[in-house]
Amino acid sequence: MIKVACVGGYSEVGKNMTAIKIDDEVIILDMGFYLPKLLDFEERNSRKNITRENLIELGVIPNDEFIRSWRDKVKAIIVGHAHLDHSAALPYMEKNYNAKIIGTTFTNAIIKILARDEGIELKNEIINLNPGKKMEVSKDISIEFVNATHSTPESTITAVHTKYGSIMYCNDFKLDETPVIGKKTDYNRLKEIGKDNVKLAIIDCLYSNNNTKTPSEMLARQMLKEVIFENATQGVLVGTTFASNIARLKSFLEFGMKMNREVLFLGRSMEKYTRAAEDVGIVNFSQNSEIIKYRKDVKKKLKEVEKNKDKYLIVTTGNQGEPGSILVSMANGEMPLKLDNNDSVIFSCKTIPVPNNFKNRLTLEKALDRKSVNVFLDIHQSGHGARKDIEELISILKPEHIIPGHGDPSKFTKMSILAKDINFDMKKIHIMENRQKLEID
């Protein structure tokens, strides 16, 4: 008997966590943050000494109390990729479990940095499992990471192999034929698994309402190249993107070097992710750029930049207009670097559709506009598959049951329409919300 507990990420885009009980053993998939709630909190308070209970109450991490009776049965905590909405709650939650933590080398490097930065010592052992590899977690259950393209390195589709068939956890993925870093999605392996019995697939449906296929990261790279080489002005170039998108950071770095500009990565999260990428040998950022973590050092460096603006390309945090971020501080004139009509700001991102982001981004764009800065928007492609990617994945895996994931009921409805259109048995698509359980026989 398989029971699925939807702990988080089924009533919002974030704090992903799913627990799967196979007979008397439990596997946990992801433990992530709901970032909007964290940012709300951090605008007014420090995260220092904050507890798991505080974070649950604030809605920042999943509330796993309703699976308390499953605690002793948990055999493994799997983190499918390194994004914070899948990994960042782990340091606060893992102590309540006696189970190994399994992730890829890059994901584990991020988990360790997250724990260390918050002064948390992890109780459970962390085990590296690389894409393409399988690991037995008990006599009856094995875990396999299948390489998948997304927007952070070493992303995986997780297969939980059981005697009832495989359970495929496909949060998050897109089907990218030309990823800038890493290999294509391992279609062969997915096809092999699909030929056997896939009992259930939990599928990232964030963009299921988008009728296309999500374009490749290579297109994002081309767009960025065009802006940097053809449209950017003579002043300072400031780019902003998701720090976890190592492929994008690499593109910024390479274009900056080609222009003979000194490349700077600014901010705590840029430091976290570039260091992790470097530690596991994906991109050696520090060889060709300067990575500056702390605000006082950022300010010091920006004083130098102010004197020779056209010698620098800066990549910084604040792409969602987060109050207090470096980019917002720059736009508000609170930094030694003063932006004007010779300077360019490139948003290599999209606004994540969660509360506050649209408002924050608009405020930031208005501030830049008042300074007549050249602003380039949406120089980006998403890491989440759209409808065509989802259809293709379903046709490869042929799951018996589907649970739409990584969204809220509005996204899940679109997924039901998609399933109906491809003649999927509608009784076997299960729309779930947080803190609901589903039994599959």
User: For residue 167, what are the CA distances in angstroms to 27, 60, 90, 311, 396?
Assistant: 11, 27, 22, 52, 14
Q: Which stretch binds Zn ion (CB under 5 A): 83-91, 123-131, 160-168, 217-225?
A: 83-91
- Nearest approach, Cβ of residue 441 and Zn ion (Å): 31
| 75 versus 83: smaller Cβ distance to Zn ion | 83
Q: Three-state SS across the chain?
A: CEEEEEEECCCCCCCCEEEEEECCEEEEECCCCCHHHHHHHHHHCCCCCCCHHHHHHHCCCCCHHHHHHHHHHEEEEECCCCCHHHHCCHHHHHHHCCCEEEECHHHHHHHHHHHHHCCCCCCCCEEECCCCCEEECCCCCEEEEEECECCCCCCEEEEEEECCEEEEEECCCECCCCCCCCCCCCHHHHHHHHHCCEEEEEEECCECCCCCCCCCHHHHHHHHHHHHHHHCCCCCEEEECCCCCHHHHHHHHHHHHHCCCEEEEECHHHHHHHHHHHHCCCCCHHHHEEEECCHHHHHHHHHHHHHCHHHEEEEECCCCCCCCCHHHHHHCCCCCCCCCCCCEEEECCCCCCCCCHHHHHHHHHHHHHHCCCEEECCCCCCCCCEHHHHHHHHHHHCCCEEEEECCCHHHHHHHHHHHHHCCCCHHHECCCCCCEEEEEC
- Nearest approach, Cβ of residue 291 and Zn ion (Å): 23
| 162 versus 274: smaller Cβ distance to Zn ion | 274
- Nearest approach, Cβ of residue 190 and Zn ion (Å): 18
| 19 versus 84: smaller Cβ distance to Zn ion | 84
| 171 versus 274: smaller Cβ distance to Zn ion | 171
Q: Which stretch binds Zn ion (CB under 5 A): 82-90, 194-202, 282-290, 321-329?
A: 82-90
| 154 versus 172: smaller Cβ distance to Zn ion | 172
- When binding is defined by CB under 5 A, the residue of 21, 75, 83, 387 that contacts Zn ion is 83
Beta bridge partners of 128: 103
- Nearest approach, Cβ of residue 81 and Zn ion (Å): 6
- Nearest approach, Cβ of residue 32 and Zn ion (Å): 9
Q: Which stretch binds Zn ion (CB under 5 A): 1-9, 169-177, 285-293, 321-329?
A: 169-177
- Nearest approach, Cβ of residue 86 and Zn ion (Å): 6
| 172 versus 343: smaller Cβ distance to Zn ion | 172
| 85 versus 343: smaller Cβ distance to Zn ion | 85
- Nearest approach, Cβ of residue 384 and Zn ion (Å): 7
- When binding is defined by CB under 5 A, the residue of 25, 144, 172, 391 that contacts Zn ion is 172
| 79 versus 93: smaller Cβ distance to Zn ion | 79
- Nearest approach, Cβ of residue 393 and Zn ion (Å): 15
Euclidean distance between CA atoms 202 and 405, whole angstroms: 6
Q: Which stretch binds Zn ion (CB under 5 A): 19-27, 134-142, 170-178, 283-291?
A: 170-178
| 256 versus 383: smaller Cβ distance to Zn ion | 383
Beta bridge partners of 28: 19, 77
Q: Which stretch binds Zn ion (CB under 5 A): 65-73, 168-176, 192-200, 415-423?
A: 168-176
64 belongs to the binding site for Zn ion (CB under 5 A)? no
Q: Which stretch binds Zn ion (CB under 5 A): 79-87, 278-286, 300-308, 325-333?
A: 79-87
- Nearest approach, Cβ of residue 383 and Zn ion (Å): 6
- Nearest approach, Cβ of residue 171 and Zn ion (Å): 7
Contact footprint for Zn ion (CB under 5 A): 83, 172
